[in-house]
Structure 1
Amino acid sequence: MTRRITVSLPDDVARYLDKHPNSSAIVTEAVRSHMQRGATTRAMLEAAGFTITEEGVARWRDKLRRPTDAQRAESRRRLDAIEAGRRPGTEEPA
């Protein structure tokens, strides 16, 4: 069974999907991959001997919050400097 849903996407993502005749398949694959990533990580950690509990997951989610827009922007500035051969935060060569 399938359902039609409407989503809003950034312009670059929409342009990418516009170029493909079966954008539903691309979106489905991306979402399924995202859904599987957590299960794969859990399985790998358990195989390495870690005991995963819902309480532990909640505790770490609280500690490891997603970065803010400002933090992401700062990370991008630092990466751009490194890729340009500069020391982050300065104009000095790396």
Structure 2
Amino acid sequence: MTKKIAISIPDDVAERLAAEPNVSAFVTESIRQRMVGERTRRTLEQIGFTITDEGLEEAGRKLDQARQAITPELRAKAAALLNEASRGRLQVRD
């Protein structure tokens, strides 16, 4: 079942949605992703994690920094190690 609704959105959001071939599907998927995040956050809080917006922002910054540290050389080295490991040839070094 579906329901048609009318909403008001800022111009920048309207411009972004104008680029979508199926706005309803895009908005639906976006809201569902948000709902999953909310459920995950509630579950983590129920088992004792303290989650704050500031903590999430800090985690996001750290993730961005980690991603920036991944150089093409490091990516190639990781791929080579994964390839060796998948062939059972990886030698563990001390």
TM-score in terms of structure 1 length: 0.47
Which structure is higher in RCO with an 8 Å CA cutoff and minimum separation 6?
Answer: 1
For the pair shown, the structure with the greater C-alpha radius of gyration is: 2
